[in-house]
Amino acid sequence: MQPNINAGVIVMQNRNKTKMKIQDPEARIKNFREVALGYSFEDAKEEAQRCLNCKNPQCISGCPVNVDIRGFIQEIKKGNFENALKIIKNTNGLPAICGRVCPQEKQCEERCVLGKIGEPVAIGRLERFLGDNFSIRTEPPSKKREEKIAIIGGGPSGITAAIDLRKEGFDVTIFEAFPKLGGVLLYGIPQFRLPKEIVETETNELKNLGIKIETNHIIGRSLPFEKIVEEYDAIYIGIGAGAPRFMGIPGTNLKNVFSSSEILTRVNLMKAYEFPEYGTPVFCKEKAAVIGAGNVTMDVARTLKRLGAEEVTIIYRRTENEVPARKEEFDHAREEGVNFLWLTQPIEYLPDETKTLKAIKCIKMELGEPDSSGRRKPIPIEGSEFILDFQMVVEAIGQKSNSVLKAFEGLQLNKWGYIDVNEETLQTNIENVFAGGDIVTGSATVILAMGAGKKAAESILAFLNEKKEVKTL
């Protein structure tokens, strides 16, 4: 316990977060049920008491959507749980989702004062607790605007922009390529980390707000982009960057060489997580390798374990100290028996006589000087090549922009194939078209995509207000 002086009262402060119950590793690798089980009412109250109620809360400045963190935690302390949820939903329409998948340890919790003497307040767990246990029906706005806004992409960025713009009274329609809203939330994150029912519960709120939803619509193919630009007063593009990215080494086209996008989308879209009722669209081999070390890498490795792979090894060209995945996901993968091979880079996939993967040729690496991102650059060690037997490999090294953008006639792209925007306003070269999230920045986090959606909504509001003033004059 650590003494805390607040408003003249000395309080003994617990250094550690209130623990959250999780499924036992031996049990959970045989099912797709959620691993982290959330806080009870008692747990939430206990954890909320750790908050120092800082006069200048740095945690809020660390949140990409500016949730009033201090405010909602103080309401939990008082037992005013619905008020606490209202405070969150003023700026974040997806609390149960964000409480699960946001990297709080690198954002709001990283700036928590308690982190200087121990563990920060478990902000994400408290947010999840409220989202899971309470609901507030969001009513359609009383004000009404005549302008029509199209949101292309029903993932976290598009959903956030739609909610904020609808609250301003606009007529908002979301166009989504898949059968349901959610994007990466529904089709890219495993059931054991983010249950589908949680996503559907929170996205159903959009209907209550009066947002129109058009699923199974691929703008640029089933519906021309030019038509959307003509018919709507403003457009926001938040389609993400879900196209697979490969290293391009020899043997990439062999059988049983996959991208992370393909594996996770197959499992989620075709309900492999409900095996054996739905069967499995992914037939795991005895020994599988996953390349990378981010959250998606952990998701793929843990998914393959659940689908029957006897041995799963993550191959990473840096060390454990440079792993970009959340610590919680890394720890869970380890607990579930995933192996790790550090300072190793695949350089060729080797075939058998049927052109099916039978082994991976690798080279050992060493860390040199930091690269442009500040991380030490991995350098191949000459003459250190070796061969490992694997029957399956999944590259989880990131995604790239979708080729559907080629059908967005007149839209300016940058040299990497992402949409080029004004960084301040997220406006594109087409006056009434805005864009944000992964399709602008490349692969990032859910909460950063949501932050882009909020920023775009503010810019669209300013743009339409200016248009209205000019028209009035």
Domain boundaries, the chain: 2-133, 148-242+401-472, 246-398
Q: In the beta sheet, which residues pair with residue 395?
A: 259, 291
pTM reported for the whole predicted model:
0.92
Cis before 250? omega within 30: no
Q: What is the pLDDT of residue 471?
A: 66
Amino acid sitting at position 119:
E
Q: In this structure, what are the phi and psi dihedrals at residue 257, rounded to the nearest 5 degrees?
A: -110, 115
Q: What is the pLDDT of residue 456?
A: 98
Q: Spell out the CATH class of 148-242+401-472.
A: alpha beta
Rounded to an integer, what distance in angstroms lies between the CA atom of residue 244 and that of residue 253?
13
Q: In this structure, what are the phi and psi dihedrals at residue 38, rounded to the nearest 5 degrees?
A: 85, 170
Instruction: Tell me which of 1.10.1060.10, 1.20.1050.10, 3.40.50.1000, 1.10.150.120 is the CATH number of domain 2-133.
Output: 1.10.1060.10
Q: In this structure, what are the phi and psi dihedrals at residue 447, rounded to the nearest 5 degrees?
A: -70, -30
User: Assign residue 424 a region: left if phi > 0, alpha if psi is -120 to 50, beta otherwise?
Assistant: alpha
Q: What is the pLDDT of residue 470?
A: 67
Distance of CA 88 to the CA centre of its chain: 18
CATH number listed for the domain at residues 246-398: 3.50.50.60
Tokens representing 66 are: 């500016």
DSSP labels for 201-248?
HHHTHHHHHT-EEE-S--BTTTB-HHHHHHH-SEEEE-----EE----
Q: What is the pLDDT of residue 55?
A: 92
CA nearest to 331, candidates 303, 295, 360: 295
Q: In the beta sheet, which residues pair with residue 357?
A: 351
Q: What is the pLDDT of residue 10?
A: 34
CA nearest to 67, candidates 85, 81, 52: 85
CA nearest to 241, candidates 399, 435, 59: 399
CA nearest to 375, candidates 297, 439, 316, 323: 323
Query: Per this entry, what is the length of the chain?
Result: 473
User: 226-231: long-range contacts at Cβ-Cβ below 8 A with a sequence spacing of 24 or more?
Assistant: 226/409, 226/410, 228/150, 228/152, 228/175, 229/430, 229/432, 229/433, 231/148, 231/150
pLDDT in tens, the chain (473 residues): 444 544 433 344 678 999 999 999 999 999 999 999 999 999 999 999 999 999 999 999 999 999 999 999 999 999 999 999 999 999 999 999 999 999 999 999 999 999 998 999 999 999 999 999 999 877 888 889 999 999 999 999 999 999 999 999 999 999 999 999 999 999 999 999 999 999 999 999 899 899 999 999 999 888 899 999 999 999 999 999 888 899 999 999 999 999 999 999 999 999 988 877 877 777 787 899 999 999 999 999 999 999 999 999 999 999 999 999 999 999 999 999 999 999 999 999 999 999 999 999 999 999 998 888 788 899 999 999 999 999 999 999 988 888 788 889 899 999 989 999 999 999 999 999 999 999 999 888 899 999 999 999 999 999 999 987 766 54
Tokens representing 61 are: 């400045």
Instruction: Say if 148-242+401-472 and 246-398 have the same CATH topology.
Output: yes
Rounded to an integer, what distance in angstroms lies between the CA atom of residue 49 and that of residue 55?
16
Say whether 74 sits in a helix, a strand or coil.
helix
